[in-house]
Amino acid sequence: MNRRNLFLGVSLVTLATLMLELTLTRLFSATMYYHFAFMAISLALFGSGASGVFVYIFRRRLEPLATPTLMSAFACLLALGAVFALFVILKNPLRFEGGMANYYRLAKIYASTAVPFFFAGCAVTLGITRFAKDIARLYLFDLVGAACGCLLLIPLLNRVGAINAVLVVSMTAALAGLIFSAGAGNLQRAASAIVLLGMAGLLSYNLAQHAIDIRISKGNEEAKILFSKWNSFSRITVDGDLDKSGVEIKIDADAATSIVQDSSDLQAHQYERNSIEGLAYNLKKDADVLIVGPGGGNDVMTARVFGMRNITAVEVNPIIANDVMSSEPFKTYSGGIYQQPGVRLVVDEGRSFIRGQSARFDILQATMVDTWAATAAGAFALTENNLYTVEAFKDYVTHLNDDGVLTMTRWYFEPPDQLLRLISLTRTMMDELGIDDAGRHIMIVRDAHTESDRTPATFLFKRSAFTDDEVHKIQAVATAGRFQLLFTPLDRPDNVFTSLIESPAPAAFYASAAHNVEPTRDNNPFFFNTIRLAELTRHKEGTDEWHKTNLGTVILFELLGITTFMVIVFILGPLFIARGNTLATKTSTKLSYLAYFACLGGGFIIVEVAMIQKFILFLGHPVYSLTVVLFSLLTFSGIGSYISGRIPDERLQKTIIKLLAVLVALVLIYILVLPPIFYGLVQLARPIRIVIAVVVMAPLALMMGMPMPAAIRILSEKMPEIIPWAWGVNGTTSVMGSVAALAIALLSGFNQALLVGAALYILAGVFITRPGVKEGSPIKSEEVLASAVPASGD
């Protein structure tokens, strides 16, 4: 097979695979609750592992078939499988109803979505198996293709949305099939061309007609949609009636914010003076205000009604800021809320914007700021939110004037975990900033006059102590609005809030609390997850809102169990059942190699997941972190793979051990040096930070790309029959590692996840140095010939 066609085809397959994997996270988030978005990663990795099983088990039947024909067929099946999965996803919406119906729908989605990843894995596994001697260059093109897919995904989602992105993936895979078919027969070339033309025609038709689209999302049929647009981290819709009932902006059909109407008429909005979200404005006049997550403009409207001098509104989503609020018809409907005098709209991630500012503010407000949606990086982001950590609160308070106020409005529901966690964050922040007497700096007020199981509650923190006069003002507003005072410096009811605020030993309170309300940090920013492991089986207790916010944790550990079961039953089981005579000789040596590849797979994915998370704070948004970190990791790993091809055969094993030692050392160094780098350079312009991130990731990625191809070169000489098995085991541990990385982070932190990744690389070094796995200990040639897969692709 022509090497140029091989390398180009493999690059296109891995490009399409990564794009499909991450596009599905967006699609799952839009059609189901965002917790299910993580399923796309496990599906991709499971398909990769299962493909290794398939190629290993059926290697003898595949031997007579020409490589170009097989790889072309697998690429075309990837194209068709992606479209098939898309239709199954759209035709089986979850309705969140009782009974088994949803389990059947999920089973259909899981099974159908694994299909394209399986065929993608078959194409790559076959290439690696039959061209093992060229593994250094082949792995380079494999990783570079995936890196390009990562780079292209963001603009593609912004341009055509997730549905059409899947169709672009199918067309790309079909193109790979056509390239592979150059060395095949006329029938295969014709079939590949037909698939490519079919995918191109389907994409063109849907771009023009929107025939394939979401009709039901999160169990609800979409109606009265006035606007709809995708980007890399959301699907924004606006629904309602511009003339009657009003309109709402929704993020992935869930997180909603109403659009303020006719903001130019201040008199028509005087009722905002009695809103619980605007309590802080009763304490300040002519103030400088920073609003994080302004959405439809209600907080901005409140600030204007109170006559605030300068209002800076920081909105993370450019669709909301530009395509909705700054464009017709919604600009006219809102009265141009963001174009009003004294109002400045900034498109940026809130915390990143704050950390880059030298200015201070009188009021910093965040109302219901959370995103029940998965970003393109959301597959790696369960429900973490970097706006609610100890370090974040320190950023906020240090950007307040001496008597400035931080105000946050969250939902109050039983149990009131979110409010308790705000208090725990504040108490830890105060201790670290040297601010004493929490009881004089905190107020909590709840809008309790409705009968709903959730009501808004506003948390106020003042950098200096609240004066009695300021407390009396809040009391008066609470009385007029029929609000409940949960805590003020002068009103200290006998409740859990008072207990925590006044506790001389907060750690003792956290230990005795019914749920986990300990302060979250940047290392484990899971603010919304308060369920303890012992309570996982009782997660449906409590209100629907508490159940919803903790659903992600339950799904994570269920997914860990499911993937472990599926790996054992569908990957490891068939491998051992069908091993034949493979383990009859050199059993210990072969098992050691397999364990080595297992450790590499787990270590690589865990380090990858943790690094993507850690770079979010530096780059300002998960989308940037995903693009930069994943692109850097894949690109420099590919370069590392190419460099590994220059290592002499006789020095491969010793060099691998040295590489693993350097790799472990780098992981440990990164844990120590990344925080000061990030905090010291965060004020630089984003393009400069991106360059710094690429430079920082390069050494680690370079090392991570070398152990795999180096070991495959060893196997190609000693025992080529287990190469597909080793590839499958590597994919298997990647499946579990992707879930385990988040489980570890949830329990202890992302630094701890990095330590586990380093430990797996150490174990890999142990297995590669076990007795029998040594240089100069070749196996007999007849043992290789007994079951070897041909190394040539002719």
pLDDT 10s digits, 568-613? 776 667 666 766 666 667 778 888 888 999 899 899 989 988 898 8
Cβ atoms of residues 290 and 354 within 8 Å: yes
The identity of residue 62, as a single letter, is L
Q: What's the rounded Cα separation, in Å, for the pair 80 and 711?
A: 34
Residue type, 515: H
Residue 406 CA to residue 429 CA, distance in Å, equals 13
pLDDT one-digit tens code per residue, 746-793: 888 889 999 999 999 999 999 988 756 654 444 343 333 333 333 333
Asked whether residue 550 carries a pLDDT value surpassing 60, the answer given is: yes
Q: By three-state DSSP, how is residue 724 classified?
A: helix
Q: How confident is the model at residue 468 (pLDDT cuts 50, 70, 90)?
A: very high
How far is residue 536's CA from residue 522's CA, in Å, rounded to a whole number? 24
- Residue 543's pLDDT is what? 63
pLDDT tens readout for residues 67-113: 999 999 999 999 999 999 999 989 887 765 555 776 777 778 888 88
DSSP code at position 279: G
How far is the C-alpha of 602 from the C-alpha of 763, rounded, in Å? 11
Is 60 exceeded by the pLDDT of residue 436?
A: yes
Name the pairing type of β-strands 310-315 and 343-347. Answer: parallel
Tokens of 30: 């839009």
118-132, 263-277, 283-297, 544-558: segment of lowest average pLDDT: 544-558
Tens digit of each residue's pLDDT (9 = 90 or more) over 319-354: 999 999 999 999 999 999 999 999 999 998 888 889
Given the DSSP bridges, would you call strands 361-367 and 400-412 parallel, antiparallel or unpaired? parallel
Specify the amino acid at residue 522. Answer: D
Bridge partners, residue 241, by sequence: 246
| pLDDT at residue 654 tops 80 | yes
Q: What is the pTM of this model?
A: 0.83
Work out the number of other CB atoms within 10 angstroms of the CB of residue 686: 15
Amino acid at 371: T
Q: What is the Cα–Cα distance from 221 to 552, expressed in whole angstroms?
A: 24
Which tens digit of pLDDT belongs to each residue from 490-518?
999 999 999 999 999 999 999 999 889 99
Residue 38's pLDDT is 58
Identical fold for domains 3-212+548-576+595-775 and 234-512, yes or no, is: no
**CA–CA separation, 366 vs 407, rounded Å?**
7
Mean pLDDT of 452-461: 91
Bridge partners (DSSP) listed for residue 396: none
How many percent of the chain have pLDDT more than 70? 88
Residue 442 pairs in a beta bridge with 461
- The whole-number pLDDT of residue 584 equals 65
For the chain, what is the mean pLDDT? 85
Instruction: Say how many CA atoms lie within 13 Å of 188 toward its Cβ.
Output: 23
642: pLDDT strictly greater than 80: yes
Residue whose pair of structure tokens reads 């105000």 in the numeric block: 407
In this predicted structure, the answer to whether residue 210 has a pLDDT above a threshold of 70 is: yes
| Structure tokens belonging to residue 264 | 């130019």
Q: What are phi and psi of 236, to 5 degrees?
A: -100, 130
Q: Per-residue confidence at 40, pLDDT binned at 50, 70, 90?
A: low
Helices (H) and strands (E) in the chain, counts: 27, 14
Q: Report how far residue 409's alpha carbon sits from residue 419's, in angstroms, rounded to the nearest whole number.
A: 9
The CATH class given to the 234-512 domain equals alpha beta
Of the candidates 363, 375, 444, 55, the one whose C-alpha atom is nearest the C-alpha of residue 235 is 375
Query: For residue 544, is pLDDT > 70?
Result: no
pLDDT for 582: 65
pLDDT digits over 127-179, tens only? 988 888 888 888 889 888 988 988 898 899 889 999 999 999 999 999 999 99
Query: Is 427 or 114 the better-scoring residue by pLDDT?
Result: 427
- The answer to whether 429 and 391 are in contact (CB under 8 A) is no
Q: Label the pairing between strands 246-251 and 255-258.
A: antiparallel
Residues pairing with 462 in the sheet: 405
For residue 636 the two structure tokens come to 């420099």
Mean pLDDT, range 297-304, rounded to an integer: 96
Please give the structure tokens belonging to residue 775.
């240089």
Write out 436-466 in H/E/C secondary structure: CCHHHCEEEEECCCCCCCCEEEEEEEECCCC
Q: What is the pLDDT of residue 454?
A: 83
DSSP 8-state symbol, 241: E
Cα gap 660→680, rounded to integer Å: 30
Asked whether residue 683 carries a pLDDT value surpassing 80, the answer given is no
Cα gap 88→75, rounded to integer Å? 20
Nearest one of 532, 535, 529 to 551, comparing CA atoms? 529
Name which residue leads in pLDDT, 680 or 540.
680
Tell me how far apart the alpha carbons of residues 714 and 88 are, in angstroms, rounded to a whole number.
42
CA dist 629 and 614 (Å) reads 10
pLDDT for 98: 54
Cβ atoms 344, 359 nearer than 8 A: no
What's residue 499's pLDDT?
Answer: 96
**CB contact at 8 A, 9 and 176:** yes
Flag whether pLDDT at 615 surpasses 90. Answer: no
| Residue 9 CA: distances (Å) to CA of 72, 420, 708 | 9, 54, 21
Identify the pLDDT of residue 565: 76
Give every CB contact of residue 583 below 8 A, 6+ residues apart in sequence: 590, 591
Specify whether the CB–CB gap between 362 and 405 falls below 8 A: yes
Distant-in-sequence, close-in-space partners of 498: CB < 8 Å, separation ≥ 6: 487, 492
- Per the CB < 8 A criterion, the answer to whether 324 and 227 are in contact is yes
The alpha carbon of residue 461 and the mean position of all alpha carbons in its chain are separated, in whole angstroms, by: 31
Distance CA 75, CA 78 (A): 5
Phi, psi of 22 (to 5 degrees): -80, -30
- DSSP labels, 42-108: HHHHHHHHHHHHHHHHTHHHHTTS-HHHHHHHHHHHHHHHHHHHHHHHHHS-----SSSHHHHHHHH
CA of residue 432 relative to chain centroid, distance:
30
**CATH fourth-level superfamily of 3-212+548-576+595-775:** MFS general substrate transporter like domains (1.20.1250.20)
Domain residues of the chain, as ranges?
Answer: 3-212+548-576+595-775, 234-512
Cα atoms found within 13 Å of the Cα of residue 356, Cβ hemisphere only:
18
| Contact predicate 276/447, CB 8 Å | yes
pLDDT reported for residue 452: 74
Among candidate residues 395, 393, 482, 515, the one with its CA nearest the CA of residue 442: 393
Residue 552: per-residue pLDDT: 65
Q: Given a cut of 60, is residue 371 above it in pLDDT? A: no
Q: In what order do the strands lie in the sheet with 400-412?
A: 343-347, 310-315, 288-292, 361-367, 400-412, 455-462, 442-446, 484-487
**For range 428-454, the mean pLDDT:** 91
How far is residue 185's CA from residue 456's CA, in Å, rounded to a whole number? Answer: 67
